[in-house]
Structure 1
Amino acid sequence: MRRHFHQAAARRGFAVAPAQEAAVERLARLAAELARPAWTFPKPPRDLYVWGPVGRGKSWLVDTFYEGLPTERKRRLHFHDFFRRLHDGVTAPGARRDGQSAVDSALDELIGDSKVLVFDEFHAHDAGDAMLIARLFRTLLDRRITLVTTSNYPPAGLMPDPLYHHLFEPTIQLIEQRMDVLDVSGPVDFRRLAAPRSRDGGRRFATGLCLPPGGTAPADAGLALPSPAEATTVPAHLRELPARAVRGELVWLGFDALCETATAVSDYLALAERFCTLVLDGVPPLAEASADGRQRFANLVDVACDRDVRLVLIGADPLTALPDGPVLTRDLDRTASRLAMLGRPA
């Protein structure tokens, strides 16, 4: 597995960073443990919680680990997607059956016979979801399923709102007791570096654009301004969204329609399942957007990056003039890091 990590890095044109070496070693050891027959272990392997600031390669580390596991009994999900599916399963009619709780039934549907579960970018901000997340973690850790997760927060930093942090403290204690916590807080945000040439192809998300109002895209980008006749609606999760245009695998939406109305991560996931390119125009400085609009925009960028959807932003620099303050800038450091991957035409 160590060789697999170094070969995977070389294929993408870089080397494993010193700050990642301890995580590579621990993930390689976990892979070796998982390869052994179950009867040789009196207890299942320790679960892993990999955390660090944005852009330190956490997702690459766990995705490379996942790809290198020879077993087919594994699942990898982004936490947004995992939690969306869990929530839908818990609230679906008839979710309780055969004496199981709704959470157990939903997990059975999600995990199947998997023995390894990887989910990326675990976080807890919403007090309304805190109890379901707490139940989720306890259920996962009580099963003989190996859990590997990434986060931008150390366990003690989860649910940072002081009004609700105490609600999550039992889950934090459970994570610290039952999982090995790996810190990959190196000094470099790799997303802000010039991308090396990759031998296995690039990513659509990283080829997206940030354009000023009225800016012009390259002629081959297919981004001619929509005409009024192209206006239509597109189905999302449980609603129809107004679109300025739909052109094959491209959808063109307005910031107000997508981020300043009551949309949710499930809607962005539905769009990502249908479209390869998402154009968002009318993007304001996020300091001028509502608090919910800022959070929805951050969630949209997360989904686009994870699902490798090419994102084109037209409008103001969304991150300009953001004042300091944990409430305003919550999770926007991750958003800023991801937006740094997008091209900005001169």
Structure 2
Amino acid sequence: MDLRAHVSGSGYELDDAQLAVIDRLTELAGRNRGVYLHGPVGRGKSFLADALFDVLPEPKKRVHFHAFFQELHRRISERLHERGAVARAVRELVGRAKVLAFDELHVHDVGDAMLMTRLLEALRKQGVMIIATSNYPPDGLLPDPLYHDHFLPGIALVKELMEAVELNGGKDYRHLHGAPRSRFETGEITTTTRLPATPRTLDVNGRGITALGTDGTKVWFDFGDLCEKPTSTQDYLVLTGTYDDWVITDVPALHTRDREARQRFANVVDVLVDADVRLTLVSDHVLADIIGGEVRDLARTASRLELINTTG
């Protein structure tokens, strides 16, 4: 396995921090050791993790973290009262894979934290090598002090199953592009927009979510309806299957809203990036004011919204 040669063939000029991480990843892969690659946004974590995944032998599987969790939740709910439901669902989803890659692993919800711990336990029993990227070091997962202690067993499993490797170069490559490279990046942040004439209620996962309206594959939401009511990541994933152009209106300065609303907004952005959905934010505030203030844990969200702020 020549990871350095594989990455060099991509045509990208690598910085010193990336080269050092490549050497470390090569060493760990030679020992079949899982990798937890973490660091600030835009440093190339996903690029290097993908390259490592590419050179590892089959059978292997790369999954989107949100989509994987949605399907895991669904399968467990179908056999809620069966013994071993989590382990069985994990076996079905992972299949024969001996390598499983998660991109942008993060845990903010205490319920997902409990399930994540059980997922890691199941993967340990199956002997699966895990590759994961994250903006947070292992001890920074589920950072809310009210709930962090609940995930300490999960953090211990992360450290047991994966070697933490930090990528902390000085350059944020997300901000060095010109033309948009994805549908998400064609979005915009604006102060006004055309609104549909008729609101409607969307049936999502057996519940109603209020939309300001729809037009083909375009959907409009008010921030309050989408983020200040008990919607979930699974709801957003279902909606991206129908709508690939989202408008969210009345987006406030997030520091004026509670933690749950801020986290739902961050989850929306994560899901839309993963699904490559166009996003328009309608707000009286510029991006710095939307994200600014005394708000923890929104660095990734800010970085992603800067992509549309600079290209929209």
The alignment's TM-score, normalised by the length of structure 1, stands at 0.79
User: In structure 2, what is the Cα distance between the partners aligned to 1:135 and 1:203?
Assistant: 34
Q: What does residue range 292-303 of structure 1 map to in structure 2 within 5 Å?
A: 292-303=260-271
**Aligned position for 1:2:** 4
User: In structure 1, what is the Cα distance between the partners aligned to 2:146 and 2:196?
Assistant: 48
**Aligned position for 1:50:** 37
Preserved contact between residue 35 and residue 130 of structure 2 (Cα < 8 Å)? yes
2:13 maps to which of 12, 15, 25: 15
**SS of alignment partner, residue 9 of structure 2:** helix
Q: How far apart are 1:241 and its partner, in Å?
A: 2.4
Q: Deviations over 1:78-114 (max 9, x none)?
A: 3222222222222223662xxx611111102211222
User: In structure 2, what is the Cα distance between the partners aligned to 1:22 and 1:138?
Assistant: 31
User: In structure 2, what is the Cα distance between the partners aligned to 1:159 and 1:343?
Assistant: 28
**SS of alignment partner, residue 36 of structure 2:** strand
1:91 maps to which of 69, 74, 77: 77
Preserved contact between residue 38 and residue 45 of structure 2 (Cα < 8 Å)? yes
Q: How far apart are 1:142 and its partner, in Å?
A: 2.8
**SS of alignment partner, residue 96 of structure 2:** coil
Preserved contact between residue 100 and residue 129 of structure 2 (Cα < 8 Å)? yes
User: In structure 1, what is the Cα distance between the partners aligned to 2:65 and 2:101?
Assistant: 9
Is 1:62 the equivalent of 2:49? yes
Preserved contact between residue 186 and residue 311 of structure 2 (Cα < 8 Å)? no
Cα–Cα, structure 1 residues 276 and 26, in superposed 2: closer, same or farther, change >3 Å?
farther
Preserved contact between residue 218 and residue 244 of structure 2 (Cα < 8 Å)? yes
**SS of alignment partner, residue 106 of structure 2:** coil
Q: How far apart are 1:341 and its partner, in Å?
A: 0.5
Preserved contact between residue 75 and residue 111 of structure 1 (Cα < 8 Å)? yes
User: In structure 1, what is the Cα distance between the partners aligned to 2:226 and 2:142?
Assistant: 26
Is 1:311 the equivalent of 2:279? yes
Q: What does residue range 7-156 of structure 1 map to in structure 2 within 5 Å?
A: 7-8=9-10, 10=11, 14-28=12-26, 33=30, 45-67=32-54, 71=58, 73-93=59-79, 96=82, 101-156=84-139
User: In structure 2, what is the Cα distance between the partners aligned to 1:254 and 1:272?
Assistant: 16
Q: What does residue range 313-328 of structure 1 map to in structure 2 within 5 Å?
A: 313-315=281-283, 316-317=285-286, 319-320=288-289, 322-324=292-294, 328=295
Q: Deviations over 1:262-311 (max 9, x none)?
A: 11000111122222211111211112223221111100011111111111
Q: How far apart are 1:345 and its partner, in Å?
A: 7.7
**Aligned position for 2:156:** 173
**Which residue identity lines up with residue 119 of structure 2 in the other structure?**
L
Preserved contact between residue 210 and residue 345 of structure 1 (Cα < 8 Å)? no
Preserved contact between residue 196 and residue 214 of structure 2 (Cα < 8 Å)? no
Preserved contact between residue 113 and residue 154 of structure 2 (Cα < 8 Å)? no
Preserved contact between residue 123 and residue 151 of structure 1 (Cα < 8 Å)? yes
Preserved contact between residue 284 and residue 318 of structure 1 (Cα < 8 Å)? no
The structure with more radius of gyration: 1
1:285 maps to which of 244, 250, 253: 253
Q: How far apart are 1:48 and its partner, in Å?
A: 0.7
Cα–Cα, structure 1 residues 314 and 164, in superposed 2: closer, same or farther, change >3 Å?
closer
Is 1:341 the equivalent of 2:310? no
Q: What does residue range 165-314 of structure 1 map to in structure 2 within 5 Å?
A: 165-191=148-174, 193-196=175-178, 202-212=181-191, 214=192, 225-229=194-198, 231-314=199-282
**Aligned position for 1:37:** none
Preserved contact between residue 138 and residue 155 of structure 2 (Cα < 8 Å)? yes
Preserved contact between residue 45 and residue 133 of structure 2 (Cα < 8 Å)? yes
User: In structure 2, what is the Cα distance between the partners aligned to 1:235 and 1:3?
Assistant: 49
Q: Unpaired segments of 5 or more residues in structure 1?
A: 34-43, 216-224
User: In structure 1, what is the Cα distance between the partners aligned to 2:189 and 2:93?
Assistant: 36
Q: Unpaired segments of 5 or more residues in structure 2?
A: none
In the alignment of these two chains, the number of paired residues is: 308
Preserved contact between residue 189 and residue 337 of structure 1 (Cα < 8 Å)? no
